[in-house]
Amino acid sequence: MSHYTANLRDIEFCLYDLLGREKVLGTSIYSEIDRETASGMLEEMKRLCENDLAASFIDGDRIGTDFNKATGDVKLPESFKKSYRAYMDQEWWRIDAPVEIGGTKIPASVRWAIAEMVLGSNPAVHIYASGTSFAQVAYYLGNEQQKKIAKLMVDKDWGATMQLTEPDAGSDVGAGRSKAVEQADGTWHITGTKRFITSGDSDLNENIIHYVLARREGGGPGTKGLSLFLVPKFMFDFETGALGKRNGVYVTNVEHKMGLNVSSTCEVNLGEKEPAVGFLLGDVHEGIKQMFKVIEFARMMVGTKAIATLSAGYLQALAYAKVRVQGGDMKVMNDKASPRVTIIHHPDVRRSLMVQKSYSEGMRALVLYTASIQDEIELAQAAGDQDRIKKMEALNDLLLPIVKGFGSERSWTLLGTESLQTFGGSGFTQDWPLEQYVRDAKIDTLYEGTTAIQGLDFFFRKVIKDGGATLGLLGKEIQAFAESGGAHAQEKEALLKALGDLNAMVGVLVGHAMASQEDSAEIYKVGLSTSRVLMTVGDIITSWLLLRQADIASDKLVGATGRDADFYTGKIASAKFFIANVLPHITADRKIIEATGSSIMEIPESAF
């Protein structure tokens, strides 16, 4: 039996009932994908994920990677390669490839709905299959020669990596030491060592194109001195793709990790054995700007992966709670002769399940809402509406650290404290997939920028940098909904109060940031609270989306019967539960932020 069950009913509710995606399907640049086609794609992906992709999930963890240190080559389990091939052979890669070289244009909202199922069933399949997504960067930002590389990446199923991190640099990308020296033929020789490189090598693809950040000879310090180079594992003929000699980029170690073991996380050395030949992307030295095209996709993927895993964990816990018999009903717990009941009858188990349900469904809505903004960006670009492009891009930028930071942090925490806990001691064993979910999901809070980095990015780059305009516009939209009355008026009042608390928190941090211009130590107060604000914003947006769903469900519940009625009843219940149990903490967080000083920064290290 598959470990994975896709919640397609809720995915489609989000896409069509909540976000109204049928209004863009079959129109403009999405003219070839109408609702019927999109629903067919989702249904087919559900079948593929629950069977072919999920089949190697456990093998990938237990067998992991096989690294040959002498050659620098990595081999993967045969069962996993079979899952990967099932995904690629059915041509799902087309939804990520540039349309000009064989891709299929679909709305981002449908694309990320599909991705949720892949990432929930076997996340490493999605990660290894990212070569076509990387090809977009080479195609749209590259010169004519690099457009040919992009086409070869698509046509020949070449892999790709993103190489930023270095052993001594970590998240401080601008401190990287990798160097690039231009050659007479226009190529560059790259030297340096990169660490924590996802998909650094495998036997899935005949070639890999490494996207490497390096500092060109004469390049200045920090991120502004970095350029982005395409460095192939094997050199090749640009017309036919025929492979030539081995290039000087070698894996020197594969990390032994806590989870996600089939995904090769590698240390990579460039230029030690022989020159590592690279091609400057687009003939311009704009490395960090170009790489952020990849980073933004990766952060969306990480948040989606985490939330997809929480959904899988919740559905596993729910199924277990319905069959695990233990204890009597609490109403007659002193009657030892009373019938034993399944644990879903116990109050705290129900509380736990509703926490999981409300967060997994609310954060799914967060992912798809963000993806719907990406739909709007593409439609505005097609229409040449520059004002709307700017507005929607700012909103997308604001939401990405929430999807990644908030989504990964909440999912990892809930998988361990609620989903696994539902199983009791059985959850701690490998008899059930929860312990693997927990291990696999922890990385989501770490890579592509830790939660603390997401909080700093959110506050300084997404709020302060535009004067709070985008957060203010989103806040006004949430406020208008909260003041709309009608169904769930009490819950909307609670949302309005939480929004007021958030505005006060942001105001306090802005005040500290301004004060730091006179007293630099004031900035510590901001750093102590940005993660708390990020979580607060995530909880408020999730509340808003859950309540919107509840309003829709209330209307649809009239006349509904059977499973439909149960589905809508569950929607209303989860929204009410979330508002009652999560939002009150925001008032407490406001008081904590208002009282936060910087004394902790004055404590000597030896006192810790």
Task: Supply the residues annotated as catalytic.
Answer: 448
Q: Hey, what's the torsion of the CAs at 396, 401, 402, 407, to 10 degrees?
A: 120
Determine whether 344 is exposed, middle or buried from the number of CB atoms within 10 Å of its CB (0-12, 13-18, 19+): middle
Residue 596 token pair: 């936060």
Helix (H) or strand (E) holding 229: strand 226-232
Give the contacts of 33 (CB within 8 A, at least 6 positions apart). 25, 26, 41, 104, 105, 106, 107, 110
| Distant-in-sequence, close-in-space partners of 57: CB < 8 Å, separation ≥ 6 | 3, 4, 121, 122, 433, 436
Exposed/middle/buried for 492, CB within 10 Å: 0-12, 13-18, 19+? buried
Q: How many CB atoms lie within 10 A of CB 13?
A: 23
46, 399 contact by CB (below 8 A): no
DSSP code at position 77: -
φ and ψ of 333, to 5 deg: -65, -20
Of 83, 71, 158, nearest in space to 122 by CA: 83
Q: Pairing mode, if any, of strands 188-198 and 265-270?
A: antiparallel
> Taking a C-beta distance cutoff of 8 angstroms, is the pair 161, 211 a contact?
yes
Cα–chain center distance at 90 = 24
DSSP output for 331-365: GGTT-TTSPEEEGGGSHHHHHHHHHHHHHHHHHHH
Other CB atoms within a 10 A radius of the CB of residue 525 amount to 21
- The string of DSSP codes covering 238-288 is TTT--EEEEPSEEEEEE---SS-TTS-EEEEEESSSS-EEEEEGGGS--HH
What is the rounded distance in angstroms from the CA atom of residue 144 to the CA atom of residue 546?
A: 47
Q: How far apart are CA 459 and CA 562, in angstroms?
A: 46
